[in-house]
């Protein structure tokens, strides 16, 4: 049966941990991602979103050498990286799929609320690490918020919740015509609506998993996959009691605690998607994409998991 699947690619789809941010490394990793997604594309309707944190960070670092009035705002950087990453994914998929299976990259605006509390509590680090004196001076000169990050300081921006996908009608039109759509990269381009109804970009970063979950809901997708570099969701991660979760209902999954900066948003996004749609969410390794969709790998979140099922160490 053909189903509509939204896949959110983690940052490892473009860059392995510790790898230099070169074009060759990104292209090689995107080629591997395309190979993992090709079986899904061959059987189902497919929409792809992706991360862009390292790429935006690189552009922000390059921008740090510019004069203050020459620095591009975050919404522009998001648009640049959406186009660049989308181009790589689109090309690598097209190189291995049948010629009649078409792909398209769509720059995607995502509306947020200008009064979202996140704008009063910036928390998302972006760009390079600075020593304290330089960070304080930049914060003063450029009206930035800064926060400690390891041994240094970084700029932090708001991470508001996504409200709606502006280009949704276009995405639906393309998917209905059998096109694989690459969109919503990096959580999308953050925009707010002014009093006159016009849209304008803002200095913010939308969480990719929350934006992808919203995209999956609004597209009426049957399945939502978040693909990363861990094989499943684990309870008590890093302890001697850790256990991989095979299948679980949202209410049970919400009963466990997960790291706020890594697995936490994915778990919340999975629960929200399943609760809102009755569909299936999956979390696991990129190379296991096909098996995750079929419930053979990773963690499956669905309403009919009456009690949590665990991965055995020998599986």
Look at the pTM and tell me if it is higher than 0.85.
Answer: yes
Please compute the mean of the pLDDT values over residues 44-51 and round it to a whole number.
95
25 in active site = no
Please compute the mean of the pLDDT values over residues 294-302 and round it to a whole number.
96
Cα separations in angstroms, 221 against 155, 164, 278, 313: 36, 16, 10, 32
d(CA 182, CA 46): 9
d(CA 172, CA 168): 6
What do you get for the CA distance between the two ends of the chain, in Å?
A: 27
Cβ pair 169, 215 in contact under 8 A: no
Give the residue extent of every domain in the chain: 4-105+165-310
Model confidence at 18, in pLDDT bands (50, 70, 90)? confident
The DSSP bridge partners found for residue 284 are 227
Model confidence at 68, in pLDDT bands (50, 70, 90)? low
Cα separations in angstroms, 134 against 28, 126, 137, 259: 36, 15, 5, 30
d(CA 111, CA 107): 13
Active-site residue identified among 10, 11, 186, 244:
11
3-state helix, strand, coil in the chain (%, to 5): 40, 25, 35
Above 90 in pLDDT, residue 71? Answer: no
Q: Between the ranges 22-26, 76-80, 105-109, where is the mean pLDDT highest?
A: 105-109
Active-site residue identified among 51, 53, 127, 208:
208
Active-site residue identified among 266, 279, 282, 298:
266
12 in active site = yes
Helices (H), the chain: 23-43, 53-63, 74-96, 132-142, 168-176, 208-218, 250-253, 263-277, 289-293
pLDDT of residue 37: 96
Active-site residue identified among 29, 53, 57, 124:
124
Beta strand pairing call for 152-157 and 124-130: antiparallel
Cβ pair 51, 13 in contact under 8 A: yes
Q: Percentage of the chain surpassing pLDDT 70? A: 95
Spacing of C-alpha 206 from chain mean position: 9
Tell me which CATH code domain 4-105+165-310 carries. Answer: 3.40.1160.10
* Per-residue pLDDT tens digits for 128-185: 788 899 889 888 888 889 999 888 998 899 999 999 999 999 999 999 999 999 999 9
Above 70 in pLDDT, residue 315? Answer: no
- Tell me how crowded residue 2 is: count the other CB atoms within 10 A of its CB: 8
pLDDT of residue 17: 74
67 in active site = no
184 in active site = no
151 in active site = no
pLDDT of residue 271: 97
User: Rg of the Cα trace of the chain?
Assistant: 19
pLDDT of residue 65: 63
């Amino acid at each position: 049966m053909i189903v509509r699947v939204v896949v959110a690619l983690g940052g490892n789809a473009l860059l392995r941990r510790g790898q230099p941010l070169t074009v060759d490394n990104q292209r090689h990793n995107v080629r591997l991602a395309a190979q993992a997604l090709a079986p899904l594309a061959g059987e189902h309707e497919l929409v792809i979103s992706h991360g862009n944190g390292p790429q935006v960070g690189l552009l922000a670092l390059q921008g740090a050498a510019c004069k203050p009035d020459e620095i591009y705002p975050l919404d522009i950087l998001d648009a640049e990286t959406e186009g660049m990453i989308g181009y790589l994914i689109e090309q690598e998929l097209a190189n291995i799929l049948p010629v009649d299976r078409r792909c398209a990259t769509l720059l995607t605006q995502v509306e947020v609320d200008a009064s979202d509390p996140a704008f009063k509590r910036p928390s998302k680090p972006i760009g390079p690490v600075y020593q304290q004196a330089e960070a304080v001076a930049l914060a003063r000169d450029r009206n930035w918020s800064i926060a400690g990050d390891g041994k240094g300081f970084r700029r932090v921006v708001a991470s508001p919740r996504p409200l709606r996908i502006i280009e949704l009608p276009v995405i639906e039109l393309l998917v209905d015509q059998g096109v694989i759509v690459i969109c919503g990269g990096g959580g999308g381009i953050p925009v707010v609506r002014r009093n006159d109804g016009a849209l304008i970009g803002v200095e913010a970063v939308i969480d990719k998993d929350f934006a992808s979950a919203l995209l999956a809901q609004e597209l009426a997708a049957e399945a939502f996959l978040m693909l990363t570099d861990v094989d499943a969701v684990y309870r008590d991660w890093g302890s001697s009691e850790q256990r991989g979760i095979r299948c679980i209902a949202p209410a049970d999954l919400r009963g466990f605690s997960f790291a706020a900066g890594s697995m936490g948003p994915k778990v919340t996004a999975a629960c929200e998607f399943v609760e809102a749609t009755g569909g299936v969410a999956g979390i696991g390794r990129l190379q296991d994409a096909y098996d995750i969709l079929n419930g053979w790998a990773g963690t499956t979140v669905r309403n009919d998991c009456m009690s949590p099922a665990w991965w055995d160490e020998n599986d």
